[in-house]
Structure 1
Amino acid sequence: MGNFSIKMTFLPVAVVCLGLSGTVQAQKTDELPQAPTPNVVVTKLAGDVLVERATPGALPLSLDDAIERGLKKNLQILLSQQNERYVHGQVLTVKNSLLPSMTAQAQSSAQQINLAALGFKGTQLADLGFTGPFNPIVRVDTTSAQMKLNQQLFNVPAYYLYRAAQKADTVASLSTLNQRGSVTLAVGTQYLLALADASQIENERALVKANEVALQQAKASHEAGVGTHLDELRARVQLQTEQQSLINAENTFAKDKIALNRLIGLPAEQELTLTDTAPFAEFAEMPLEQAKALAFERRKDLLSLQAQMDVADRTLKAVRAERYPSLAFDGYYGVLGETQGLYHGVFSAMGKLSFPIFQEAQLRGESQVARAQVTGLRQQIDSLKVTIEQQIRASMLDVQASNELVKVAKSNVDLATEQLQQATDRFAAGVDDNLPVVQAQATLAAAQSRLVNTLYQYNQSKLQLARNTGVVETQYKVYLGR
């Protein structure tokens, strides 16, 4: 059957599509001015492959620049785009099965035939009254030109498979959009983490300077005879502790910038200057039902499953239609004659009607497979909707909790700063030794570190909520309050 070969052509498309998933698009808000971008140095390898190399000096990079680069250079995005091209090629292959197939053919041949070897004898011709000379070796030169046409006139399975292939193209596009959302979340999270590292370094440097001053005061008090050597030792230990914390913070910052380079397609050795600061803005709470409705409309993984459902449903219709007869036309028109002689037109026209007679086991088996795919996808869609609600609820709780944590952390920093100031004044006045000062410095360091971490958690939870509602790619600025 002609429709069987068409179906086998579509199978790679169906296999590719049934494994794809998706994410989101939405309106843009006001953008910050773009940082100047230096000229990018590239090198060409064999096969016309361009490899980006590190630029001299530090590259200014904002959050918008990082996300834009990630959407252009991230490997997962590039692979998804190639998958789109692959599936689209498969769709064109399926479409071609429904279109007329026309080919032109021309040939010329020269033959030398031994009639005697084929059983023709001169004596046999004489018995028939032929008295002329007989040459058993004959030369035949012919030339022909033909135009062939093949067309499916009625093939219901091929039509439904083409419709399924069209929807498979949509699934591939949704998969790319889903990857764009994932990359936006990953790049945004990594950039915010690097900003938190930079804030942590600033805090540690400020504490190191404060501890250096405290050490100088302890030494001066000891030399003046109003302090003890123990005070000096405490101050030195505290200073070295903060220096160790500074070294660790700088190392973490360097590694996180390397990870950011990897996400946005920059060389690992490329130096970066983060031009943005960690944002903090109160997020207006969204009603749960509104968030769910937005997610059901924008989540590309859900839309992808629904498109796969359409693919499976149309495939099932194609399988059911395999019992229908199919009608096809095949023919040609051309000329044929001796190469140096007279040519004459030749043609052939043939209509073909075919239908299955005894293929019941195969048809039932294909039908069961298609129905199982439809049922499985329907169950996945129902399950994903429940999962989306769970993710949105969890994200909302994270946003609320981290917001409260930021407020508490800010209050703790203010209180720790005031405590340190009072302890420092008492030590400078000689009322107390520097033990309360060292303790207050440690308390302030811990409070500042918690503030940095909670601010990062708050921003990351808002990005995750944008991802769960399906709008992270274009509305991350709104959720971050930038």
Structure 2
Amino acid sequence: MVVMVKDSKSARHVAAAVLLAACLTATAQGPGSSSPGSAGQPPAGGITSSDQNLGLVVGATQQLSAPGPSTSPQGTTTSVQDPSYRGSIVRDKATDGVIQLTLDDALQRGLRNNLGLILQTSSVMSANGSRLQDLQKLLPTVTGAAAIQVQQLDLAAYGLKFPGINPIVGPFQTVDFRAYLSQNLVNLQAFENYIASRHNFEAAKLTAQDARDLVVLTVGNAYLLCIADAARITAVKAEMAESKVSLDQATANHDAGTSPRLDVLRAQVDYQSEEQQLISSTNQLDKDKIALARAIGLPMEQKFELSNDVPFAALDTPDPNVAYQAALKARKDLAAAAETLKGAEASRKAAFYEQMPSVDVAANYGDLGQTPGHSHGTYTATGEVTAPILQIAKTHGDEQVARAQVDQARAKLSDQQQQVNADVRDAILDIQTAAKLVEAAKSNVDLAHEALSEAQQRFKAGVADSLPVSQALATEEQANDQYISALYQHNIAKLGLARALGVAASDSKTYLGGK
């Protein structure tokens, strides 16, 4: 672009504007820098989903603004993408003070109030209700009735005519107190339907237990995000202080006539960029705290502070094969899938038994008379054998539907077993990779800080301008972002391993605490 000006004064103004724009562009595009819209976030990469259950993969960098781990509805568990796991019910009222929220307190609140777990618990009640309904079809059914009837009959209306006899009978009354009994003696279809509903009930209970792991995964991730945001704010404040030192030095040098105006402009851009970063990082922390409050059932107006920082703690990763065998025994979603398969097999048997005869009995006993004092015991007993004669299409259709459900359940169970194997191995790789990233990122932070100190000393001594200082500030910001991201990745990877092994709800402290 060519700018034409008519006088030297305008030329100076245009040159200053172009120079300032160039400084802003260089700072915005420098390594480790973030735009205001992406403040509080490490460079591109993001938390991806290693499978449909964990939603955790360690990358070189990641997106820290997501309110929870990402999972898919398919796989071995209910999805954390389900909005219910990021919601909750609020049981308590907000207090005036600021509460100190520990990680353990957040997890316990989530296990009490998280909507996803509450809905799964309701599903258990529903499955138990279906089981009891099917059980009743196998048990005796007893009912009672009391009736008083007054009537007058016209025998002629029924074709009964006798010479000399009045066809009108009555009025008269009858009193009847009676109990009724019905029972399926032999009904194989009803029996297998009950077996299927019992397995489905067990599957629902196991799914609800597995949902506790998902709640821990969601709440733990939300808490760790807030910790990362707070760490980023601390880092940005430190960077602002260092940038202010450079700005003051550049201003002093310029006032003394030993430094050009360019150094002051560059330092001002650096300082204002850090101010923008602080604003964005603070906003991101506030938003992530809202997401955490939603997941654990805190009122939106309740003020709270995080009282745990969950520092880096190395974790000895287990052998993948040994860990996989342990996961097969501990994962509740696998056990639920196995129960679902058993229920499908029972439903297939029930479909086959549709063509088999059933034996039922029905009986009643009671007192019948004109008054309770003038009554006699009466009873009726009936036995019935019922057999389908012609319903071939329905029977074969029901069998095919049930057989398809069995095949689907068996295939899903097999796939889930392999997915658990992948979950365990992915989580172990994530931990190992994240530990190396933490080590490398920590070294980068130390080196970047040393480089910044060296650049500031050279600028103060007048042997260099402020450009190396600006570049060193950008490098330090990038190093801090990568270190914070690596710490977050490592903690999430450890939480992911606990989930992969099926012990997140019971043993998350051990994994987040390290050895």
TM-score bracket, shorter-length normalisation: 0.7 to 0.9
- Give me the whole-angstrom Cα distance separating, in 1, the residues matched to 2:501 and 2:135: 36
The answer to whether structure 1 residue 148 and structure 2 residue 152 are counterparts is no
Residue range with higher mean Cα deviation, 302-311 or 427-436: 427-436
Task: Indicate which of 109, 122, 142 corresponds to 2:149.
Answer: 109
Please state whether the residue corresponding to 1:142 is helix, strand or coil. Answer: strand
Map Cα deviations across residues 100-136 of structure 1 (whole Å, 9 max, x no partner). Answer: 1111111001123345666666xx433xxx7xxx584
Question: 1:41 — aligned with what?
Answer: none
Residue type of the alignment partner of 1:61: L
Residue type of the alignment partner of 2:344: A
- Give me the whole-angstrom Cα distance separating, in 1, the residues matched to 2:215 and 2:120: 12
**Deviation at 1:445?**
1.4
What does 1:220-231 align with in structure 2 at a 5 Å threshold? 220-231=252-263
Residues 197 and 99 from structure 1, CA distance in 2 versus in 1: closer, same or farther, beyond 3 angstroms? same
The answer to whether structure 1 residue 168 and structure 2 residue 206 are counterparts is no
Task: Indicate which of 279, 283, 287 corresponds to 1:251.
Answer: 283
Q: Is the 8 A contact 2:189 2:350 kept in 1?
A: yes
The answer to whether structure 1 residue 84 and structure 2 residue 124 are counterparts is yes
- Report the TM-score, using the length of structure 1 for normalisation: 0.83
**Deviation at 1:245?**
0.8
Question: 2:246 — aligned with what?
Answer: 214
Residues 140 and 21 from structure 1, CA distance in 2 versus in 1: closer, same or farther, beyond 3 angstroms? farther
Q: Is the 8 A contact 2:366 2:379 kept in 1?
A: yes
- Give me the whole-angstrom Cα distance separating, in 2, the residues matched to 1:340 and 1:386: 72
Question: 1:436 — aligned with what?
Answer: 468
- Report the TM-score, using the length of structure 2 for normalisation: 0.78
The answer to whether structure 1 residue 466 and structure 2 residue 471 are counterparts is no
Map Cα deviations across residues 408-453 of structure 1 (whole Å, 9 max, x no partner). Answer: 1100111111112222222333333333222222211111111101
Residue type of the alignment partner of 2:137: S
Question: 2:432 — aligned with what?
Answer: 400
Q: Is the 8 A contact 1:22 1:175 kept in 2?
A: yes
Please state whether the residue corresponding to 2:208 is helix, strand or coil. Answer: helix
Task: Indicate which of 99, 102, 114 corresponds to 2:139.
Answer: 99
Please state whether the residue corresponding to 1:103 is helix, strand or coil. Answer: strand
**Deviation at 1:373?**
1.6
Question: 1:180 — aligned with what?
Answer: 212
- Give me the whole-angstrom Cα distance separating, in 1, the residues matched to 2:266 and 2:249: 12
- Give me the whole-angstrom Cα distance separating, in 1, the residues matched to 2:102 and 2:168: 91
**Deviation at 1:268?**
3.0
Residue range with higher mean Cα deviation, 235-244 or 427-436: 427-436
Question: 1:313 — aligned with what?
Answer: 345
Residue type of the alignment partner of 1:87: A
- Give me the whole-angstrom Cα distance separating, in 2, the residues matched to 1:135 and 1:398: 96
Residue type of the alignment partner of 1:106: A
Question: 1:390 — aligned with what?
Answer: 422
**Deviation at 1:189?**
0.9
Q: Is the 8 A contact 1:22 1:177 kept in 2?
A: no
The answer to whether structure 1 residue 424 and structure 2 residue 456 are counterparts is yes
Residue type of the alignment partner of 2:145: Q
**Deviation at 1:154?**
2.1
Residues 159 and 318 from structure 1, CA distance in 2 versus in 1: closer, same or farther, beyond 3 angstroms? same
Q: Is the 8 A contact 2:317 2:431 kept in 1?
A: no
What does 1:260-409 align with in structure 2 at a 5 Å threshold? 260-339=292-371, 342-409=374-441
- Give me the whole-angstrom Cα distance separating, in 2, the residues matched to 1:406 and 1:50: 37
- Give me the whole-angstrom Cα distance separating, in 2, the residues matched to 1:445 and 1:117: 104
Q: Is the 8 A contact 2:250 2:263 kept in 1?
A: yes
Task: Indicate which of 245, 248, 269 corresponds to 1:237.
Answer: 269
**Deviation at 1:50?**
7.4
**Deviation at 1:51?**
5.8
Question: 1:32 — aligned with what?
Answer: none
Residues 185 and 144 from structure 1, CA distance in 2 versus in 1: closer, same or farther, beyond 3 angstroms? same
Residue type of the alignment partner of 2:469: V
Residue type of the alignment partner of 2:280: N
- Give me the whole-angstrom Cα distance separating, in 1, the residues matched to 2:192 and 2:167: 62
Q: Is the 8 A contact 1:100 1:150 kept in 2?
A: yes
Q: Is the 8 A contact 1:22 1:304 kept in 2?
A: no
Residues 20 and 119 from structure 1, CA distance in 2 versus in 1: closer, same or farther, beyond 3 angstroms? farther
Q: Is the 8 A contact 2:106 2:219 kept in 1?
A: yes
Question: 2:486 — aligned with what?
Answer: 454
Please state whether the residue corresponding to 1:294 is helix, strand or coil. Answer: helix
What does 1:188-199 align with in structure 2 at a 5 Å threshold? 188-199=220-231
Residue range with higher mean Cα deviation, 439-448 or 247-256: 439-448
Question: 1:37 — aligned with what?
Answer: none
Residues 251 and 479 from structure 1, CA distance in 2 versus in 1: closer, same or farther, beyond 3 angstroms? same
Task: Indicate which of 170, 176, 188 corresponds to 1:138.
Answer: 170
Q: Is the 8 A contact 2:90 2:113 kept in 1?
A: no
**Deviation at 1:347?**
0.7
Please state whether the residue corresponding to 2:396 is helix, strand or coil. Answer: helix
Residue type of the alignment partner of 1:279: P
Residues 51 and 462 from structure 1, CA distance in 2 versus in 1: closer, same or farther, beyond 3 angstroms? closer
Q: Is the 8 A contact 1:196 1:278 kept in 2?
A: no
Q: Is the 8 A contact 2:90 2:297 kept in 1?
A: no
Structure 1's unaligned 5+ residue stretches are 1-18, 24-48
Map Cα deviations across residues 6-51 of structure 1 (whole Å, 9 max, x no partner). Answer: xxxxxxxxxxxxx99649xxxxxxxxxxxxxxxxxxxxxxxxx976
**Deviation at 1:309?**
0.7
Question: 2:163 — aligned with what?
Answer: 125
- Give me the whole-angstrom Cα distance separating, in 2, the residues matched to 1:109 and 1:362: 44
Structure 2's unaligned 5+ residue stretches are 1-73, 79-88
Count of residues paired in the alignment = 431
Question: 1:14 — aligned with what?
Answer: none
**Deviation at 1:169?**
0.7
Map Cα deviations across residues 177-198 of structure 1 (whole Å, 9 max, x no partner). Answer: 2222112111111111110000
Residue range with higher mean Cα deviation, 420-429 or 316-325: 316-325
- Give me the whole-angstrom Cα distance separating, in 2, the residues matched to 1:113 and 1:20: 71
Task: Give RMSD over aligned pairs.
Answer: 2.4
Please state whether the residue corresponding to 1:125 is helix, strand or coil. Answer: coil
Please state whether the residue corresponding to 2:163 is helix, strand or coil. Answer: helix
